[in-house]
Amino acid sequence: MKAVNDAMANDDVYAGTEGVGFDNMGGDKFTMPMLLIAQDTSEVVRDKVNGIESGCYYNSVTKENYGKKITLVIAYFESVWQIWKPNMGGFVGRVRPNSIPVNGDVFKGMTTKDGNMNDVIDTWLYFVLIKDREDEGVLMMPLTSNSIKYAKVLNGMIHDSRMSSGKRAPLFYNYWELGSGKTKFDKGNSYSFGEGNTALIKCMGMVPGEVYLENVKEATLIAPTAVMGSVPAIEAPTSQLAIADSSEKY
C-alpha cells in the first residue's frame, strides 16, 4: 500500500506533463513493431520460434505468438508502395502510390524504372492496437496482394459502422476480430484473415471511451508520422506515372 501511495505522490509531481518532451520524436524516430501473419516460408515458422505456425499472428520485434485469431482496434490506415530489392532481397523504402514511374502494374507486378529493377509492392498499412493490451502500443499491420481482397471487406464493414446515435462511426470506433485462413495458389499457400471467397472478420463491439482517450487517440497522432518517415525516402521524379485502380481485379 505504501508503494502505491508513493507512486501516486510522484504522479502528482508530474501532473500536467503528460507527453511533454516528445515534440521532435514522432513515429519516424523509433522502430514500430509489425503485426504479421506467418507464412510457410517465414523464418519464424522455419525456426519454430515460440510455437509460431503458418497462419499465426505474431509481433515482428518480440516474436510473440498471438495465435490464429486476434481482436484489435484500427487507429489509422494508409496505402503505399513499398520498394524491395529484387526477389525481396532487402527493404529499400516507401513511396506514395503512383509517385514514381514503374514497369508493369499493380495487378501483374511492378518494378522500378531506375535501372535497379527493384520490386514495387502495393501495400495497405493498418495501425492497430490489440484488445485488452492497448497500453502496449501501436503495431503496423501491412497487407499485400491476396490479403487486400479481404481488407476491402474489412474496410467496407468499417465504413458502414454506425454509432448509437445513428451517425457514421469513426475508423477506431469498434474492435474487429480477424481469423486466419489458407488460400492455395500454384506457387504455394497464402495465409490471411480469409479463405477462398470468405473473409474471416467479426465486429466485436465498441471501443470504450476511456480506452480511446488513454491509448487510441495518441495512436491516431503517431501513426501518420510513421508512414513515410520511418523508412528511407525515395525521391519521386518530376513526371509521375498514374496507374488506374480496379478493385474487381483483386
Q: What is the pLDDT of residue 208?
A: 97
> pLDDT below 50 — which residues of the chain?
4, 27-28, 230-250
Map residue 124 onto helix, strand or coil. strand
Domain ranges of the chain: 31-230
Q: What is the pLDDT of residue 14?
A: 72
Beta carbons within 8 Å of 194's beta carbon, 6+ residues apart: 147, 149, 150, 153, 181, 183, 200, 201
Q: What is the pLDDT of residue 86?
A: 87
Beta carbons within 8 Å of 67's beta carbon, 6+ residues apart: 56, 57
Going by C-alpha positions, the residue among 37, 70, 247 that lies closest to residue 149 is: 247
Provide the b/e sequence for 16-30 (b: ≥16 CB within 10 Å).
eeeeeeeeeebbeee
Q: What is the pLDDT of residue 94?
A: 87
CA distance 38 to 230: 23
Q: What angle do CA 192, 120, 118 make, to 5 degrees?
A: 130
Q: What is the pLDDT of residue 8?
A: 53
Q: What is the pLDDT of residue 237?
A: 38
CA distance 182 to 194: 7
Q: What is the pLDDT of residue 115?
A: 84
Rounded (10°) CA dihedral 165, 160, 56, 249: -170
Q: What is the pLDDT of residue 188?
A: 85
- Phi-psi region at 90: left, alpha or beta (left = phi > 0; alpha = psi -120 to 50): left
Full-model pTM: 0.79
Q: What is the pLDDT of residue 23?
A: 62
Q: What is the pLDDT of residue 239?
A: 31
